[in-house]
Copies of this chain bind each other. A is one copy, B any other.
């Protein structure tokens, strides 16, 4: 009851940053779906580090080995499982943090939760590396959703105080962010964001940002009321991505600046179908889809691993200590989290729609 989620499509994520392997089991996939592994690898590659100066130089081979669930590349109804063997680990980099928790990481809370037996190395099970299996599973779910005419796109809405273009919640269009190394709609804004990241990196510091995700093609009438609505399930799962600290749907927090008459989405008839003229609801009312695009944003805090010296404590001696984090770290993980948000969205929606 922790690294498993889902009602009809269930996933079970396993692995630690420096364990022998990491992976995932997907239970409940429909049988008879041909899986395009190239597309799976492509989504995983968008998350992979080591591409440029913005992300850690650590190399991850990240080659998923599928253990079960496919027969000749087609889902057979049995759980689809996958392992990625870990390589290129620098566990020694973590020797000093065994006793000295990194600020705003899970080191301390996990130490208490697991009586000091948690795997500290590389962040253990709390490492961002565990999002690689999520991308794998998400890419598979995405292909099944695409067959239903559903498309999931995400972009960086902001890095620090640089914003990408504002999107139209009613007409989403094609963002092509899956094709870009830096997934923004407006590449000029992207350059400014990159400049912010470079600046933070130069200072041994880090920045965060907001990822906006839009889903088109989901018909009205999916989701269950109260605790099993689309918002509930997406929120539950999106908070499974490390560094996420907030989620909002449609207008979200900005709705609180508006009057009801401004925020309400009027109904209209478009080509004989019931639509809304605006989409401040983000495609969901009462937890149930209304046929408009699903739109949500999620806040990614600045990477807690920074090279600046920080104040920590010794867990053993309970004394205050100075901490200098070693290893290879991203000054910003937002760009790498974009495909992860898409993947978790795909996993969640396939569950909701199954």
Contacts and interface: CB of A to CB of B under 8 A. Distances in A.
Given A77-B117, A205-B259, A232-B236, A2 B227 contact: yes
Interface string A321-343: 00000000000000000000000
A21 interface: yes
A152 to B, nearest CB: 19
Interface stretch (A35-43, A180-188, A286-294): A286-294
Interface string A227-244: 111011101110110101
Contact of A318 (B117, B124, B222, B274): B274
In this complex, the interface size class of chain A, counting residues with CB under 8 Å from chain B, is 35 or more
Task: State the copy count for this chain.
Answer: 4
A69 to B, nearest CB: 7
Interface in A207-225: 207-210, 219-225
8 contacts: A3-B225, A19-B69, A78-B125, A104-B263, A108-B220, A200-B260, A227-B236, A233-B236
Contacts of A244: 231
Contacts of A70: 19
Contacts of A60: none
Contacts of A206: 259-261
Contacts of A130: 226
Given A4-B27, A12-B12, A245-B253, 19 more contacts: A4-B12, A5-B227, A19-B69, A19-B78, A23-B67, A32-B117, A104-B281, A109-B220, A113-B220, A160-B256, A200-B259, A206-B259, A208-B258, A227-B239, A246-B246, A253-B299, A255-B302, A260-B305, A267-B312
